[in-house]
Amino acid sequence: MSQGRIFITRRIPEAGMEILREAEVETTVFQKDEEKGLTRGEVLKGVASCDVLLPLLTEPIDREVLSANPRLRGVAQMAVGFNNIDVDVATELGVPISNTPGVLTDTTADLTWAMLLAVARRIPEAHNYMVAGRYKIWGPNLFLGADPSPGGSGRRKVLGIVGYGRIGQAVARRAMGFEMDVLAFDPYARQMIEDDELATWADLPELLAESDFVSLHPLLTDETHHLISEDELQAMKRTAYLINAARGPVIDEKALVKALNERWIAGAALDVYENEPAMAEGLAEAPNTVLLPHIASASADTRGRMASMAATNAVAHMRREPAPNCVNPEVYDTDAYRERMARP
Ligand code: GLV
């Protein structure tokens, strides 16, 4: 017998579907076309007809959505980030929210490094040059880039990490192989940074002024919205690179376009955008960029694990049990939650 109904907004990897089948959960996958999102109306209708919602970061889950079904038992997002979900409202309404932390840390840190190396060594430009048939003769000035390692100058480079959570730390670990000095800024992890052998604490102005590469890994909150804006870009070295595999709105993208065009910084590598999937006007044409379509956790293994975790969380929500990766566990102690779970 079916345990209940789960509404999956868009197609997720098979590993997750298998867990749902084994748990005998009735599933509706709304959008099977990889390139198409759901309309607001489709999300609202889906939520109203299910017991558990499994969304992706492409669907805003706000008060209207969370209020669309008084029997909703939980929201199991397939992503570690959950800035698309109004968690405070969910807690107020007694809805547990879960995510998929941990499994994508390495994959995201790897991509951060791929972006860092790609922008510093101009890999996309060089690749395009090759496939355009423009390589005629080796030259000592062809595609000169910058070294993350000591390289020819012998100078150890400085990596500044903003946001020293799981992913920021994994990025720092990789920097050891490049003999970098790592600075880290994260007001919520100051003690941890001070105790950490990999990184040295720096406040943001110092980090921006000293770093050859600045990599962003904070959560997106009101505090981190436009954390990197005109003043911060001006404060960076003219030879420095900015890397963002966190959330787009951490950077004021219009300011970044200006900074790139006016050469305040040497380049930027972005996996995320302020108004995703759109880019700020002029970003695509700006010099010295690497621009990716939000693929930081996109390895087959990791996306499979994320889907399994989201499905496991969803099954727990379905059974009215605490989800293994609940981001608002305080909800379980609320009357709103108890009343919600008591509904047939
Ligand atoms: C991807 O951006 C995620 O938050 O999982």
235 vs 92: CA distance, rounded Å: 41
Encode pLDDT of 181-229 as tens digits.
999 999 999 999 999 999 999 999 999 999 999 999 999 999 999 999 9
Whether residue 9 contacts residue 52, with contact meaning beta carbons closer than 8 Å, is answered with no
CATH level 3 topology of 105-291: Rossmann fold (3.40.50)
Q: What is the pTM of this model?
A: 0.94
Encode pLDDT of 314-344 as tens digits.
999 999 999 999 999 999 999 999 999 998 8
Whether residue 61 contacts residue 85, with contact meaning beta carbons closer than 8 Å, is answered with yes
Amino acid 1: pLDDT? 53
How does strand 181-185 pair with strand 97-98?
A: unpaired
Q: How confident is the model at residue 121 (pLDDT cuts 50, 70, 90)?
A: very high
Give the 3-state secondary structure of residue 327.
Answer: coil
E strands along 202-337, which residues? Answer: 213-216, 241-244, 267-270, 289-291
Ligand 1 close to Cβ of residue 248 (< 6 A): no
Ligand 1 close to Cβ of residue 167 (< 6 A): no
The best mutation among 56, 77, 104 to test binding of ligand 1, ranked by most ligand atoms within 8 Å of the C-beta, falls on: 104
Ligand 1 close to Cβ of residue 79 (< 6 A): yes
Per the DSSP assignment, residues forming a β-bridge with 268 are: 242, 289
- Known active-site residue 276: yes
The single residue of 5, 225, 294, 320 carrying the catalytic annotation is 294
Contact residues for 155 (Cβ-Cβ < 8 A; gap 6+) = none
- Picking from 268, 260, 261, 265, the residue whose alpha carbon sits closest to that of residue 292 is 268
For 5-103+299-342, CATH gives: 3.40.50.720
The single residue of 26, 42, 210, 276 carrying the catalytic annotation is 276
Amino acid 33: pLDDT? 84
Encode pLDDT of 160-191 as tens digits.
999 999 999 999 999 999 999 999 999 999 99
Contact residues for 18 (Cβ-Cβ < 8 A; gap 6+) = 311
E strands along the chain, which residues? Answer: 5-10, 26-31, 52-54, 74-76, 97-98, 158-162, 181-185, 199-201, 213-216, 241-244, 267-270, 289-291
In the chain, CATH 3.40.50.720 sits at 5-103+299-342, 105-291
Ligand 1 atom with the smallest distance to the CA of 100 is: 5
Question: What is the Å distance from ligand 1's center to 287 Cα?
Answer: 27
- Picking from 233, 237, 282, the residue whose alpha carbon sits closest to that of residue 259 is 233
Mean pLDDT computed over 16-26 = 95
Q: What is the mean pLDDT of the chain?
A: 97
Tokens read off for 133: 């048939």
